Homo-oligomer: A and B are copies of this chain.
Amino acid sequence: MSAEDPGFKAALHEARQGSSEGGVPIGACLVSAEGKILGQGHNMRIQKGSATLHAEISCLENAGRLPASAYQGATMYTSLSPCDMCTGACVMYKVKRVVIGENKTFVGGEEYLKSRGIEVIVLQNEECEALMQKFIKEKPKEWYEDIGEEQ
């Protein structure tokens, strides 16, 4: 598991896309046990006025309706440590592994994922962190809104 992993590259591509749109620059990609990309997406809070389309939710939504078996052995790649909602989505669909771009900006439900038997890998990728730091500096209000925190 490294920054060269196709699933991670797709998640980072999505984060960059979110950044270029002026949105919260977080991307995600869901890869099946067989290595097929099932879906990918990025945070759409600003672009769609959405309170729920975090990167992982956007990714799962773009993957579309799938039977439970499709998520078995799957890996969710996300550029930032997942919030409680996205953590819960990974738990509900029982993905095998969550690969996180960075968790210096924000630490979400990593311990809860582990407690539910999901492997967690943190890459501490500098570009993921730089995208977030730039966004938070420019739009702090939107960032805190995105994670349900008071500024």
This protein's copies in its complex: 2
Q: Are B68 and A51 in contact (CB under 8 A)?
A: no
How many residues of chain A are within 8 Å of chain B by beta carbon? 36
Q: How far is the CB of A88 from chain B (nearest CB, A)?
A: 3
Question: Is the CB of A66 closer than 8 A to any CB of chain B?
Answer: yes
24 CB contacts below 8 A, A to B, read A45-B65, A49-B64, A50-B65, A51-B60, A51-B64, A53-B61, A65-B145, A66-B145, A68-B144, A68-B145, A68-B149, A68-B150, A83-B88, A84-B89, A84-B92, A85-B85, A85-B91, A85-B92, A86-B88, A87-B88, A88-B89, A88-B91, A92-B147, A93-B148
Q: Name A's B-contacting residues (CB within 8 A).
A: 45, 49-53, 57, 60-61, 63-69, 71, 83-89, 91-94, 109, 112, 144-145, 147-150
